[in-house]
Amino acid sequence: MALIVQKYGGTSVADGARIGHVADKVCAARRAGHDLLVVVSAMAGETDRLLSLGKNISQRPNPRELDVLLATGEQVSIALLAIALEKRGLSACSFTGGQVCIRTDDAHTKARILAIDEDKLRDTLARGCIPVVAGFQGVDAAGNITTLGRGGSDTTAVALAAALKADECQIYTDVDGVYTTDPRMVPEARRLARITFEEMLELASLGSKVLQIRAVEFAGKYNVPLRVLSTFKEGAGTLITYEDTAVEAAIVSGIAFNRDEAEITLIGVPDVPGTAYRILGPVAAANIVVDMIVQNVARGGRLDFSFTIHRNDYPQTIDIMQANLRHIGAEQVVGNDRVVKISIVGVGMRSHAGVASSVFQALSEEDISIRMVATSEIKISVVVEEKHLELGVRTLHAAFRLHEPPQQDFLQRSAGASRRRGGITG
């Protein structure tokens, strides 16, 4: 008998019928002999409805009061699900964030969980009762209601799973797992049975549609096995867990991409200390997020410096560069706001040479020119022209044979890794 934390998102509890369906799933898991704790989000659309009620009164609502307002969304869901569970003959008990003392800092609308008083939940579980806990919310030290920011319910579920040392934290959503890439772009994309926390973090652009990145970080930090499943479709979903270093992992797990990128290059920048700061300082001051940064080796005392930003920030960034050109000492600024980023992610890269050259080879065979390259330990990102996005993703998906089921190494990984302790960062 395992302890499982299940989290159901807004679309899973969007109306009475869907709440009934969720209650049926909880019943089934209970009947299979598991102890259960359920976390729910607000009904789909409810948070937006509440937010517009508040914005209707004030364009900049007081953040403390905004949290009081938004927290009602999840409170409605916990009550309704508990009613549905009781109707099915199960014992259930709803709890707001405050009632189970999900202690957070006082950063209203984006609070972070500091501690959880698990006693009440343990008592409830010991009575054979299913705690139904409101996601997304907590209380600060003074008892004020706080919220964790959008998608915070995933974090609530992972934090509760960590506090109670649950065997698994299951995130039910409207997709049935993490795919090798976006199936809308590559029909052959395959659901991954497993993926590591690190890969999941690097696949943020794919994963953020599925899981809050903060929840993945939290799960990695406290070693909570995390599973993404569909509320509406049966299946094992994708388990996010630790890599088992004893066996070989697939070299590449998935391909992520970002549309809406823009690149900026400063040509002929003097190779003197402080150049990068002189370039990026004004960008940061304008609150523009810089993604990739590439600096070539200097030739003749001068170098080229490139970085990417969100496409929306392109005109403003060009203006900032023009205004600072003399101060930076660069010869020229050039840019392109029609580029995209494609990233190949996989923990297997660590032990496999030649992944980068395979990427370059595959793309060159399709005449796709690479504008920028950046690498991390488990990721290779390339910037290409927008028109090459689909061809590039498909080419790489095929080149790394991601459409094929993994060899036995995946099966071996599932056998071993489950509950090993350790941090995910180096």
Binding footprint of a copy of itself on the chain (CB under 8 A): 16, 19-20, 50, 53-54, 56-58, 61-62, 64-66, 68-69, 71-72, 75-76, 78-80, 82-84, 86-87, 92-94, 96, 98-99, 143, 145
- Between 62 and 376, name the residue whose CB sits nearer to a copy of itself: 62
The nearest distance, CB 82 to a copy of itself, in angstroms, is 4
104: phi then psi, degrees, rounded to nearest 5: -125, 175
CB of 65 to a copy of itself, least distance (A): 4
Nearest alpha-carbon partner for 218 in 194, 200, 192, 205 = 200
Q: How far is the CB of 126 from a copy of itself (least distance, A)?
A: 16
Residues constituting the chain: 426
CA dist., res. 197 & res. 228, Å (int): 12
Of 64 and 191, the one with the shorter C-beta distance to a copy of itself is 64
Contact 410, 193 (CB under 8 A): yes
C-alpha dihedral (383, 385, 391, 397), degrees to nearest 10: 10
CB of 298 to a copy of itself, least distance (A): 54
Name the minimum Å distance from CB 141 to a copy of itself.
14
Tell me the pairing of strands 92-95 and 238-241.
Answer: unpaired
Write the CA distances from 162 to 28, 148, 213, 226, integer angstroms: 23, 17, 16, 11
Beta carbon nearer to a copy of itself, 140 or 261: 140
Which one, of 368, 375, 384, 385, lies nearest residue 346 by Cα?
375
| Smallest separation (angstroms) from a copy of itself to the CB of 280 | 37
What values do phi and psi take at 179, rounded to 5? -105, 160
